[in-house]
Structure 1
Amino acid sequence: MKNVLEYLEQSAERYADKTVVEDTKSNCMYKELLQNAKSIGSALSAFELPGNPIIVYMDKSVETVTAFMGIVYAGCFYISISPEQPAARVVQILQVAQPNCIITLGDNADMLHQIGFTGKVLDYYDIVRNEIAEERLQYIRALSQDIDPLYCNFTSGTTGVPKGVLISHRSVIDFMEYFPSIFNITEKDIIGNQAPFDFDVSVKDIYSTLKVGATMVIIPKRFFSIPVQLLDYICERKVTTMIWAVSALCMVTQLKGLTYRVPSEVNKILFSGEPMPVKHLKLWQKYLPNVVYANLYGPTEITCNCTYYIIDKEFGLDEKIPIGKPFPNEKVFLLDINGKKIKDKETIGELCVSGTALALGYYNNLEQTKNVFVQNPSNSRYIELIYKTGDDAFYNKDGNLCFAGRKDFQIKYMGHRIELEEIELIINSYPGIDRACCVLDTNKNQIIAFYVGCMESVQVKNKMHESLPGYMIPKTFIALSELPVSANGKIDRAKLLDTWGK
C-alpha cells in the first residue's frame, strides 16, 4: 500500500451504502465520498501540480473531509485552516505555505480576499460537481509514492511564525496498520470526532474510520461548552469510540456532565495532548467502568502518537499515569545531555523517536527541520534520523515510559502544543508594553502573563484576540513594576510562579 486512498476505495467497495461521516447538517455514504472526492480531484488536477499544498478554509464538516480526499486524488496535500483563526495568523500560514488555491464555502471567500490572497479561491459546491477524469486520476496515482506529503498541520513556532509539520502517506499508513487493531476499532464502531481538523488527533479519527469501514460523527465545537448538548448528541448518535484531548474529557467532568447523562454505548476512550489528571480519569471510570481507557503520547512530528498505555490498574490521585510503550515499528528511547542512551529506571532524559513515523520535516523551513530531525548520536554506523521531542521522560519500575515535562518553554495546553515565546512575542510588540513573560501554572492549568507597562490587562487581552487563537491567550494578566531576573540575566520564571502562587 502506498496511498491512503486505498483505505477509502476498499471500504467503499465493502460498505458502499454505509454512512462514513456525518455532522449536524448532513451525512455521506462511502460511495458518495468516493465519487465526490474523485470529482474534486479531477477539478483540481486540471490546473494544480501534484505535490503542491491546497488549503481547505472551512469549519470541520462532511464537506471538509470530502475536500481532503479530493486534494489527495489530485496528488496534492491538504492544509486545514479554521475560519475561526485570527486573520493575522491565517496570513502567517499562507506566507509559509504559499498555496496557489484555497477551497472554501460562501462568505469565507470575502475574508480571503480581504487579507490579500491573490490565488484561486474555489467554492466547494462548484468543484464537487466536476466531471470525473478517471484516466487523469489513474495517471497521477501511478506516479505517486508513499513518501509523498499527505497533510501539513501548523503548530506554534519559537520565532512567532507557525511551523508546518509535513506528514507523508507512508507515515500515516504505517501508524494505521497498527492503531485500529491495538484498540479493536472495527467497522462496528462509531467514532465521535472531538479534535479540530488542523490538530493531528483528528487524523486518528479520519483514517481509522476509512481503514476499517467505521462511521465518524463530527461533534461541533460549541457542544464542548454545553455538556447537556454534548452528551445528548453523543448518546443520540450512539458513539462508541472517543479519541479525545484530555482537556475535552476534563471539561465534561468539571461541569458534572456525567451526572446528567452517561454515554452508555461508549466502549473506548483514548486520550492525549497533556497529562490526564487522575481525579478526572476516576470520574469517567466511575460512570463507565467497563470502557477501555488508554493514554496516548506523541508530538505532531511523529504522526499522531509514538507510545500508548492501556489503563490496567487503579492510580492514586498523586500518581503519574505512564505514557507506556512504543507503538509497533517505532523506536522510542531516552538520551542524556551527552547524547548517550538511558536505560536505567527513574533516570530522566530527552525522549527521542526514530522510524517510519517521522514527519518529512517543517514545510519551507529547512533550518528548523535540521535542528530537531537529526542523526541518532548513539548510532555512528549508518544514517538514522531521529526526532528530538524536547520532552523529558523516564522509565518507571515497571519499565513504562513516564512524561516528566518540557525541556524548554513549549507547553501542552488544552490539547495544543504552544510556544510561550510566541505569545510573549505578540505581547512585547505592543507599544504600551515594556516587557512580558508567560508561564504555565500546572496546578491551575492556566497560562499567566506577567508584564511591565501602562496597558490595562483587559486591553492586552482584547488586543491579543486580533492575532492569536483563543487557546493561546493567557487566562490571567498581572502587571508588575519589574520582572525578576535570575543570576544569568534571564527572567526568573520560577520566581514569577512563586509570586503568583502567593
Structure 2
Amino acid sequence: MNNNLTEYFKNTVSGFPNKVAIDDNQATMSFSELNKISDQIALEIVSKTKDSRQPIAVYLPKNRWSVASFIGIFKSGNFYIPLDIKSPGERILKIIETLNSSWIITNYEHKENLINLGYQGNIICIEDVVSNPISEDAITKLEQISNSIIDLDPIYSIFTSGSTGDPKGVLISHRGVIDFIEWGISTYDITDKAIIGNQVPLYFDMSVLDIYLMVFTGATLHIIPEEHFAFPIKLIEYVNEKNINLIFWVPSVLNNVSNFDAFSVIKPTSLTKILFGGEAMPNKHLNYWRNNYPNALYSNLYGPTEITVIATYYIVNRTFKDDESLPIGKACKNTQTLIFAEDGKPVKKGEMGELHVRGSLLAYGYYNNSEKTKEAFVQNPLHNLYPDIVYKTGDLVYENDLNEIIFVGRKDSQIKHMGYRIELGEIETAILGIEEVGNSCVLYDDNQKRIVAFFKSKKTGVEIKKELMLALPKYMIPTKWINIEQFPLNANGKINRLELKNML
C-alpha cells in the first residue's frame, strides 16, 4: 500500500503512459502528458512558495486543466480547493478568506475575473506554466517531496454551505481518498478497462470517485459536456459514442431519462456499472432503468462530503415496488455506522435515529472553523475512554430486518405539524410511487404552517391527493399542491429546494 496519491499516480503513468487519461470533449490528455503538466504545475508552486501542506485554490472551468492542477498541487505537497467559476463573487471571496490562501491557479481568461472580484493574492496561470522545462534536479526535488508526504496529510478541501449559508471547507486526507478508492476498486471490480463518464462538477465531492479511479487504475475519464444532461437522448448518444461503461451520477439525471422515456428512442450500448448518489433515488425511476436495461449493475451510494464521499452502499439485488424506499445499504470497508436516538442512546432495529459515522474515511473537520467542527465531529456517545471521533450526519435512518440501512430524511426536514413528527422525505417517496408522477419535492411553509407538495405530472393535485390518502395518514397529506413543469436544479444536478422554498 502506498502512502500518498503521488505514488499511486506514478505507478499508473508507468503502466499506461500513452493511454488517454482525460477526454473533456475539447481535447485528450494521455497519462504521460498529464504527468508532465502536473509536474510543471507542482514545480511552479514549489518555486514560489515556502511551506507545504498549504491550501491552493483552483479557479478553472471543468476540464482537463482542472484535473491536472489538482494532481500538480498534491504533488507539490499541498492540498487543493476547487472553486466554482459560476459562483457569486461574494462566496468566492468568503472561501478565499477562510483559506487565508495567497495562491490561486487559473488561466488568462479567468484571471481578470479574480482581479475584478478584488482578489489581491498571487495567481498562477496555466498558460505560463506548461512551457516550463523540467530538469533532472527538478524531478529529484519532486521525488523528495513525495517521500515526505504521509497518508494523514490533507489532499483537498471541498466547500459546502451549512444552514447559515456560509461556506465550510471539509478537509480530507490522502488516507481517506486511498481507502475510499481501494474500496471502490474492490467492490465494483474496476480495472484499466473502465471508461468513466463524469457528470458532477469538480467542486462536488462525487467527482472524487471519477478522478481517482482514473489515477489509481489507468481508466479513462470522460468529462461529459454539461449541456448534454438537459437532453436525455443526446446524453445517451454521447455515452454510446464514447463507449462509457461506468457512471456515478446524481439521481435527478437518471430520473430525467425516465421522465422523457428516452429508452423508447435509444438505449445504452456500453454501460455495465450504474452508480448513483447525492440524493435519494426513487424506485419508480430506478425500475424504469432496470426494466429497460436489466443487465447492468446498479448501486446506491450514500455519504456526506464529510466522509470522503461515501459511507454506505447498496448493490441492488432484488425487486422493489415504486413506492418503496431504496436502502442505502451497509457501511463501506473500515467504516462503522451508528444510529442514535435523541437521548444519545443506540436505537433498536427498526427504530429511527440520527446516523453517525466513524472510520478512516472521516474528514478532519472544517478548515479554519473549529466551532463548526466541534458541533458536527463529536466524541463517540458509546464511551469517553479515549478520543474516538464520529460525524453526526443529520440524516434520519433505521435498520430493516435485512440489516440494511434505510434513509428516511434530513433531521432538519423533520417537522412538527398538528402535533405529529413528520419526515418530509417519507411523503416525497409516497408521491413518487403514484403512477404518472415524474418528480416530487415536499417542503414545509413555516409562515402558513402547511405542507406543500411540488410535483410534475399530468394528474392534478386533487387526483394525487386522493391516491395519497390510501398510503399516508391524513395529517401527512400536503394541503397545497403546485404542478411544476421543470424542477429547478442546482449546479450539482440536485433539486434546488431553496429556489422552491422562495416560491412559497
Distance 2:449 2:207 in 1: 28
Distance 2:97 2:263 in 1: 44
Task: Pick the aligned partner of 1:138 from 124, 130, 143.
Answer: 143
Residue 163 of structure 1, CA deviation: 0.7
Q: Please tell me whether residue 286 in structure 1 is matched to residue 291 in structure 2.
A: yes
SS in 1 for 2:25: coil
SS in 2 for 1:177: helix
Shift in CA distance, 274/17, structure 1 to aligned 2, threshold 3 Å: same
Q: Please tell me whether residue 376 in structure 1 is matched to residue 387 in structure 2.
A: no
Shift in CA distance, 105/199, structure 1 to aligned 2, threshold 3 Å: same
Q: Please tell me whether residue 157 in structure 1 is matched to residue 159 in structure 2.
A: no
Task: Pick the aligned partner of 1:74 from 49, 52, 76.
Answer: 76
Unmatched 5+ stretches in structure 2: 415-422, 426-445, 457-489
Maintained 8 Å contact 1:273/1:412: no
The residue number in structure 2 matching 1:188 is 193
Aligned positions, number: 435
Distance 2:58 2:188 in 1: 30
Shift in CA distance, 188/478, structure 1 to aligned 2, threshold 3 Å: closer
SS in 2 for 1:247: helix
The residue number in structure 2 matching 1:56 is 58
The residue number in structure 1 matching 2:110 is 108
Letter of the 1:157 partner, please give it.
Answer: G
Distance 1:114 1:387 in 2: 38
SS in 2 for 1:364: coil
Maintained 8 Å contact 1:334/1:394: yes
Deviates more, 1:400-409 or 1:234-243: 400-409
Q: Please tell me whether residue 405 in structure 1 is matched to residue 409 in structure 2.
A: yes
Shift in CA distance, 144/327, structure 1 to aligned 2, threshold 3 Å: same
SS in 1 for 2:324: coil
Map Cα deviations across residues 218-252 of structure 1 (whole Å, 9 max, x no partner): 01211111223212211110000011111121122
Distance 2:186 2:292 in 1: 26
Shift in CA distance, 409/278, structure 1 to aligned 2, threshold 3 Å: closer
Shift in CA distance, 440/376, structure 1 to aligned 2, threshold 3 Å: farther
The residue number in structure 2 matching 1:178 is 183
Distance 1:313 1:96 in 2: 46
Distance 2:352 2:215 in 1: 39
The residue number in structure 2 matching 1:29 is 30
SS in 1 for 2:146: helix
Distance 1:437 1:377 in 2: 38
Map Cα deviations across residues 425-452 of structure 1 (whole Å, 9 max, x no partner): xxxxxxxxxx98999967639xxxxxxx
Distance 1:14 1:70 in 2: 19
Residue 472 of structure 1, CA deviation: 6.3
The residue number in structure 2 matching 1:315 is 320
SS in 1 for 2:80: strand
SS in 2 for 1:475: helix
Residue 160 of structure 1, CA deviation: 2.4
Residue 409 of structure 1, CA deviation: 4.7
The residue number in structure 2 matching 1:429 is none
What's the Cα RMSD here? 2.4
Deviates more, 1:7-16 or 1:130-139: 130-139
Distance 1:262 1:99 in 2: 47
The residue number in structure 2 matching 1:345 is 349
Shift in CA distance, 475/443, structure 1 to aligned 2, threshold 3 Å: closer
Task: Pick the aligned partner of 1:84 from 83, 86, 94.
Answer: 86
Q: Please tell me whether residue 276 in structure 1 is matched to residue 281 in structure 2.
A: yes
Task: Pick the aligned partner of 2:212 from 207, 211, 220.
Answer: 207
Residue 363 of structure 1, CA deviation: 0.7
Q: How does 1:405-424 map to 2 (within 5 A)?
A: 405-409=409-413
Distance 2:273 2:310 in 1: 17
SS in 2 for 1:45: helix
Residue 283 of structure 1, CA deviation: 1.1
Residue 302 of structure 1, CA deviation: 0.6
Task: Pick the aligned partner of 1:168 from 173, 177, 188.
Answer: 173
Q: Please tell me whether residue 7 in structure 1 is matched to residue 8 in structure 2.
A: yes
Q: Percent identity?
A: 38
Distance 1:441 1:81 in 2: 34
The residue number in structure 1 matching 2:259 is 254
SS in 1 for 2:387: coil
Maintained 8 Å contact 2:355/2:394: yes
Residue 287 of structure 1, CA deviation: 2.2
Letter of the 2:339 partner, please give it.
Answer: L
Residue 471 of structure 1, CA deviation: 4.2
Distance 1:184 1:443 in 2: 39
The residue number in structure 2 matching 1:430 is none
